[in-house]
Amino acid sequence: MSEKQNVQSCNRPVTDEAVFKVTKEIVVKFIEVGRLTPANFEETYERVFQTVKESAKTL
């Protein structure tokens, strides 16, 4: 793949679905390692989602 094609593929907009999938993977990992409980799920999920979404916009 040429450098020009590589740059074009990086400029695609990030969909909400992609943000959701990344957020889900992060949250699942937090649950697996014991950093996330049902008591703090909603707050943590929202914070992770917003962080992923903001990070995707800066690309």
Query: Using 50, 70 and 90 to split pLDDT, how confident is the model at 59?
Result: low
26's tokens:
């992060």
What is the average pLDDT value for the chain, to the nearest integer? 84
Provide mean pLDDT across the span 7-24: 81
Delimit the domains of the chain by residue range.
3-57
The dihedral over CA atoms of 14, 47, 22, 17, expressed in degrees to the nearest 10, equals -50
Model's pTM, two decimal places?
0.74
Q: Are 27 and 37 in contact (CB under 8 A)?
A: no
Query: Using 50, 70 and 90 to split pLDDT, how confident is the model at 8?
Result: very low
Note the Cα 14 to chain centre separation in Å.
10
The one-letter amino acid at 36: L
Provide mean pLDDT across the span 26-48: 94
What pLDDT is recorded for position 12? 74
